[in-house]
Amino acid sequence: MIMKAPIQNEYAGKVRVRGCGVLIENNKILMVKHLGLGTEGYLWIPPGGGVEVGYSLEETIEREFLEETGLIVESQSFLFLNEFINQRLHAIEIFMDVKKKGGNLKVGIDPEVDEKKQIIEEVKYLTLEGIKSEGHNKVHSRFCDLSSFEELYGSKGFYNFKNNYLK
């Protein structure tokens, strides 16, 4: 059974611009497990969220990291742009490389979602093997087929992922 996250209803029918950060340490990438997304009931994605009026992309990513992971980061450089489309959600995701400056890793919150309906279940660093063991339906599509994390730094460009599981 597919779980439907409360966030899907809130953003349905709109194009959302998201700032997302890529933090790689010790050959592992920091990912957040969001319930109710993806075809399997959850989806691992890098920390990130909606760009709000008056906030830069860098400020958005730094805010989202703190909210979702407890980490203080500094945005570094543009990596790539990804467009996510399914029948209910449409997001333009701008990915940037980030550097950790402080904080303590913890499971954070999504302040746009009611306290009793939080969708962030877990936050952890995943290896390439860990990503591959989760599979395509449980990890953000851009990260599923990497042979190394270094590929992300050379992948500057535009990517497109269409997912029609919510027909």
43-78: pLDDT as tens digits: 999 999 999 999 999 999 999 999 999 999 999 999
36 part of a folded domain: yes
Total domains, the chain: 1
Nearest to 149 by CA among 18, 57, 31, 19: 31
The 10s digit of each residue's pLDDT in 121-136 is 999 999 999 999 998 8
In whole angstroms, give the CA distance from residue 144 to residue 152.
12
pTM confidence score: 0.86
Other C-beta atoms within 10 Å of 3: how many? Answer: 13
1 part of a folded domain: no
121 part of a folded domain: yes
165 part of a folded domain: no
160 part of a folded domain: no
For the record, the structure tokens of 22 come out as 């890529």
167 part of a folded domain: no
- For the four alpha carbons of 156, 17, 117 and 66, in that order, the dihedral sign comes to positive
122 part of a folded domain: yes
Looking up residue 130, the CATH number of its domain turns out to be 3.90.79.10
Range of the domain at 113: 6-154
Nearest to 2 by CA among 95, 118, 137: 137
